[in-house]
């Protein structure tokens, strides 16, 4: 009895009663071939420009990867024309073609860098997957609220460009918290701040504007229609006629005193007066209008306003008489001296100087003082009489 083989994988089939003590070897070999045909991969170098024929063992692998650099167009053939499927990977380089064929039949051109499923029909090697339709460009079209399309033959990653259809979004489609910016409305020239000013408008804006006075009317307002507010200086003429002014002026503030030529300024408008604010001669003043005056007149030699009696501090140097101080003239304290009355004899009361000149302040002479000298029987007789003085500084 003999051993036969399967028609495609060429697996050994020992007849019953044959191959005594050899069945195990034959079975193990067949199982190895089945493992190759189902799950094993072969890496096969095919570089160059010559055709390559696989060995019987090579042809038994389920997956075959072809490697190497091609120098020309080549064919890779199986060992026989046995019907069998393959997964083949053209992992070669070089700008040439590689065709995978059955031993004597036709084959399939393998694209470099791609994996292909093929099988032998017993005569030719053919593709197990019809890829003819994959080379035809197809269009994917979107419809509904979002529209768009893409054309691709799946050789590259497709990009789908979409757009929202015109007029398909309605108010119900917008989320209440969307907070759409005002720049997205109309031509985008209205800002959020400007748009928000519409809050509180209760009727048509244009109608409200139309009911208001025209701008030309606002430029010709009658002053009699102004009941309150403040006019800017630019709205007033350079001068205002007195006939156009009424009232007591109590509402006027920040007036320059140099512009007041007549009338009476209220006490409330006058600040504390100091000597620096008074110049020139004072007009006649009715003392009845003065208040806050002291009831006494100072008499010290140091207080401004003091009234004192003074004499000249020295005697005449020659015989005769003179007015040492003239009424209406001012004198310094260096020519003024205190005086006392004393009895010098001769039965008369005369004025004598008490001490030296007071030496302080400026004094206005209100009543003149005098002095004289005479001699009699070889004696010199001196006399002086006081004048009334007002201290002015």
Q: Where are the domains of the chain?
A: 3-38, 40-133, 307-391
- 10 pLDDT band, cuts 50/70/90, is confident
Q: How far apart are CA 322 and CA 370, in angstroms?
A: 6
DSSP string, 72-95: S-EEEE-SS----EEEEEE--BSS
Task: Give the number of other CB atoms < 10 A from CB of residue 90.
Answer: 23
What does the pLDDT read at residue 375?
81
If residue 28 lies in a helix (H) or strand (E), which one and from where to where?
Answer: helix 23-39
Mean pLDDT of 61-66: 94
Mean pLDDT of 83-91: 93
H-type alpha helices, 40-126: 56-59
| Closest listed residue to residue 51, CA positions, set 77, 29, 69, 18 | 77
pTM for the structure as a whole: 0.37
For residues 160 and 150, the answer to whether their CB atoms sit within 8 Å is yes
The 10s digit of each residue's pLDDT in 328-364 is 999 998 888 888 766 555 444 456 777 788 888 999 9
Pairwise pLDDT comparison (278 vs 375), residue with the higher score: 375
What does the pLDDT read at residue 286?
66
What does the pLDDT read at residue 283?
67
Q: Which of 8-17, 151-160, 324-333 has the lowest mean pLDDT?
A: 151-160
Which of the given ranges, 32-41, 97-106, 248-257, 271-280, has the highest pLDDT on average?
A: 97-106
The values of phi and psi at residue 192, to 5°, are -60, -40
| Closest listed residue to residue 155, CA positions, set 137, 128, 129 | 137
Residue 137 scores a pLDDT above 90: no
If residue 390 lies in a helix (H) or strand (E), which one and from where to where?
Answer: strand 387-391
| Cα 83 from chain centroid (whole Å) | 80
Is 40-133 a CATH 2.60.120 domain? yes
Pairwise pLDDT comparison (62 vs 214), residue with the higher score: 62
Q: How far apart are CA 383 and CA 348, in angstroms?
A: 11
What does the pLDDT read at residue 141?
76
What does the pLDDT read at residue 347?
44
């Amino acid at each position: 009895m003999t051993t036969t083989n399967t028609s495609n994988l060429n697996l050994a089939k020992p007849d019953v009663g044959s191959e005594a003590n050899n069945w195990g070897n034959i079975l193990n070999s067949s199982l190895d071939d089945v493992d190759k045909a189902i799950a094993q991969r072969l890496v096969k170098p095919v570089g160059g420009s010559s055709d390559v024929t696989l060995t019987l063992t090579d042809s038994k692998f389920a997956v075959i990867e072809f490697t190497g650099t091609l120098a020309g167009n080549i064919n890779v053939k199986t060992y026989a024309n046995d019907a069998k499927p393959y997964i083949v990977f053209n992992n070669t380089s070089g700008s040439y073609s590689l065709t995978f064929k059955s031993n004597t039949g036709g084959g399939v051109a393998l694209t470099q860098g791609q994996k292909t499923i093929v099988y032998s029909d017993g005569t030719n090697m053919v593709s197990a997957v019809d890829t003819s339709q994959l080379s035809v460009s197809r269009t994917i079209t979107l419809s509904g609220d979002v529209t768009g399309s893409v054309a691709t033959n799946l050789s590259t990653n497709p990009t789908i460009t979409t757009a929202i259809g015109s007029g398909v979004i309605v108010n119900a489609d917008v989320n209440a918290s969307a907070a759409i910016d005002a720049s997205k409305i109309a031509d985008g020239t209205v800002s959020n701040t400007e748009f928000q000013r519409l809050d509180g408008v209760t009727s048509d804006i244009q109608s409200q504007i139309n009911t208001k006075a025209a701008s030309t009317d606002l430029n010709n307002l009658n002053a009699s229609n102004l009941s309150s507010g403040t006019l800017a200086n630019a709205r007033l003429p350079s001068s205002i006629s007195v006939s156009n002014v009424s009232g007591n002026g109590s509402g006027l503030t920040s007036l320059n005193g140099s512009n007041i030529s007549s009338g009476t300024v209220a006490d409330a408008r006058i600040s504390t007066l100091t000597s620096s604010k008074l110049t020139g001669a004072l007009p006649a003043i009715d003392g009845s209008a003065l208040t806050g005056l002291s009831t006494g007149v100072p008499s010290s030699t140091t207080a401004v306003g003091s009234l004192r009696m003074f004499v000249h501090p020295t005697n005449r140097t020659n015989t005769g008489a003179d007015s040492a101080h003239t009424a209406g003239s001012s004198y310094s304290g260096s020519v003024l001296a205190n005086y006392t009355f004393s009895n010098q004899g001769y039965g008369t009361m005369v004025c004598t100087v008490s001490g030296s000149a007071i030496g302080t302040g400026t004094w206005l002479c209100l009543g003149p003082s005098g002095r004289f000298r005479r001699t009699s029987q070889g004696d010199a007789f001196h006399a002086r009489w006081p004048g009334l003085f007002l201290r002015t500084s």
